[in-house]
Every structure is written in structure tokens, then in C-alpha cells.
Amino acid sequence: MKRSASERVRRMIRKSESRRPKTRRCPTIPLEVDEQIKGEIPEEVLSATSEDTLFLDLETTGLMAHRSLTAMIGILYRRNDTLRLRQWYSGDVSTERKQLDRLYQWMASFRTVVTYNGDGFDLPFLRHRAQWHGLETENEPQSVDLLPIIRRHYKKKWPNCRLVTAEERLLGIPRCADDVPGSEAPLRFQDLREGSPLEVITPIYTHNRRDLISLVSLHHRLVAPILMGE
């Protein structure tokens, strides 16, 4: 590019900057959780869970993949007697690329990915976002979506088939009082990007963690018997 042209562009950008009202840059928070969970689920459940299984739950800034961000990727898997929880936050598109790239590389080493409504939402959402970034999406493990199984068995018996309901009815664990519904996540992410303190998304982290741990137990309860031919 000719030097003069680049000078002109610089000047134009600076000009337009000085005219526009100052907007806050979205914070790229190095929010990365890497937790070793012990003793939160029964021993027999843990030992029955394959190390090849990845539990996945996304929190996004909206439902439409073409205008939302994968704001948080939560994954959980077993290593020996502990569950490893990882949660990766992305506050902007360029960080999202980094996180998605990493996720797809990780997923390649697992045989199955367990989700709740993953076939309907999480996995297509991920695929759409990854394609937008021009990333390969071929390394996806076999999907096990628990929602259709719950629907098949309990649709007529329960008021709804939400994950919280399944937890209560099948596992007998009520959600703690301070749990926020997952639908609040987009608003809280937006608050954060608009300058609210980090605390606004702390409940999302705990919610996501709770969901993932429940997935392990539900998976054991629903899928393991089928595999064992019960």
C-alpha cells in the first residue's frame, strides 16, 4: 500500500474516533476455570463414567448463532478419581476463535460428547460459529443428547423436561436458592460487556458447573443401563 494511502486511512479513522461517543472496549477477561472436583457425585457413578466421555454445556449471548457469541464453553471429564471442570470465557469474536479452536482440538481426543439438548442447540451452534471463523469442524465426537431420552420417558409424566426438573425428579437434588436460570446468561454477559463488575457472571459459572455435574449423574442413570442391556 502506498504510504500516503495508509496515512489517509489513519487520519480518517482517528477523525471518526474523535467524533463518535466513547464506547467501552469489550473486556477480554482471562476467565479460565480449571477445577478438580472431588466427592460431589457418588463413587459408583464416577467409576462407571468413561474417561472417553466429554460433558459439554455452552452459555451464549443469544439463541441465533449468526448474531451471538459462544460466551462460555464449559466442559467436564473424568481423570482417575476426579472430575476436571474447564470453563473458557470469550468476550469478543477474536477470543471466541481461540476458544473454539482449542475446543475442537480437545474434542478430537474424546469418543462421545454428552449434552442436554446438544443436538438441538449446542453442537449446531458451535459448528456454525466455527465455520464462521473458518475452522475445521470435523473432529466432533459421537453425540449423546440426554434431552430426547428424557422426553421419550417422561414427557407425559412431568410438567416439563428441563434439566432442573430432571435433576429434581431423577436425582432428587433441588437446585440451590441462588441458582440463576440459564436464560439469564445473555443479559448478564451483556451487562459485563457494558461495564458491570465481574460478579455479574459468577452465577453463570456456578450454574454451568451445576449443569455439567448433573449431566454426569443423569448420563449414568439414563444411558449406562441401556448400554448394559437393562
Partner 1 sequence: MNQNPNSDASIYDADKAISSTSGFTVNSVQRKGSAPTPLEVLHGVEARMGSAEELVSRYAIPARDAEFAQTTPDLDPQIIDHLKASGTWPLYRHQARSLTKSLSGEDVVIASSTASGKTLCCTLPVIDAMVKEPGAHALLLYPTKALSQDQHRHLRGLIDGIGLSLETGIYDGDTEPTLRRRLRRSGRIILTNPDMLHASVLPNHGGWGAFFANLRYVVIDEVHTLRGIFGSHVASVLRRLRRICRHHGSDPTFIAASATIQNPGEHVSRLIGRDVKVIEDDGSPRGHKEVVLWNPPVIEKPDGTLARRGPTSVAVKLLPELVRRGLRTICFARTRNSVELILRYIRERAKGARDREEVADRIEPYRAGYLPSERRQTEASLFDGQLGGVVSTSALEVGIDVGGLDGCIIVGWPGSVCSFMQQAGRAGRRQGESLVFLIAGQDPIDQWFVRHPDSLHESSPENAVIETDNPYIVARHLICAAYELPLSGEDSDLLGEDLTAMCTVLQEEKRLREEGGAWYLAREEYPATQVKLRTASEENFTILELGPENVIGELDYVAAMLSLYEGAIYIHRAETFIVEEMDHVNCLVKIRRTKTGYYTQVLTQKKVTVTEEWSHREVPGAGSRLAEVEVRTRLTGYKKVRFHSTENIGYGEVHLPPLELDTVSHEISLNRDTVLQSERFGTAFLRSGMHGVARLFRDLLAMRAMCDPGDIDHHVDDNLIHIFDLYPGGIGYSELGHELHLSMMSDVLEAVTECPCAAGCPACVLPGASRIESALEAEVLEYPFPKEATRWLLHLLLGKESYEPQLEGIPAPCENPMIPVPPLLDARVERKIRKVARLTSRRGRQR
Taking only Cα atoms into account, the Rg of the chain, rounded to an integer number of angstroms, comes to: 21
Does 12 sit near partner 1 (CB under 8 A)? yes
Interface positions, 185-224, toward partner 1 (CB under 8 A): 193
Does 14 sit near partner 1 (CB under 8 A)? yes
The three cell numbers locating residue 192: 459485563
Which range binds partner 1 by CB under 8 A, 18-26, 49-57, 81-89, 170-178?
Answer: 18-26
C-beta separation of 106 from 230 below 8 A: no
N residues, the chain: 230
The three cell numbers locating residue 104: 475442537
Which range binds partner 1 by CB under 8 A, 8-16, 37-45, 77-85, 171-179?
Answer: 8-16
Residue in 21, 67, 138, 228 binding partner 1, rule: CB under 8 A: 67
The three cell numbers locating residue 175: 437446585
Nearest CB to partner 1, comparing residues 15 and 153: 15
Residue in 128, 162, 175, 221 binding partner 1, rule: CB under 8 A: 128
CA-to-CA distance for 5 and 225, rounded, in angstroms? 68
Nearest CB to partner 1, comparing residues 98 and 153: 98
- Smallest distance from partner 1 to CB 87, Å: 20
Residue in 17, 44, 138, 230 binding partner 1, rule: CB under 8 A: 17
Distances (CA, A) of 58 to 86, 99, 186, 201, 206: 12, 12, 11, 14, 13
Residue in 86, 133, 175, 221 binding partner 1, rule: CB under 8 A: 133
Judging by DSSP bridges, how do beta strands 112-115 and 82-89 pair with one another?
A: unpaired
202-227 helix and 146-154 helix, angle to the nearest 10 degrees: 70
- DSSP structure class, residue 116: S
Chain residues binding partner 1 by CB under 8 A are: 1, 5-6, 8-10, 12-17, 23, 25-26, 64-67, 92-95, 97-98, 101, 128, 132-134, 193
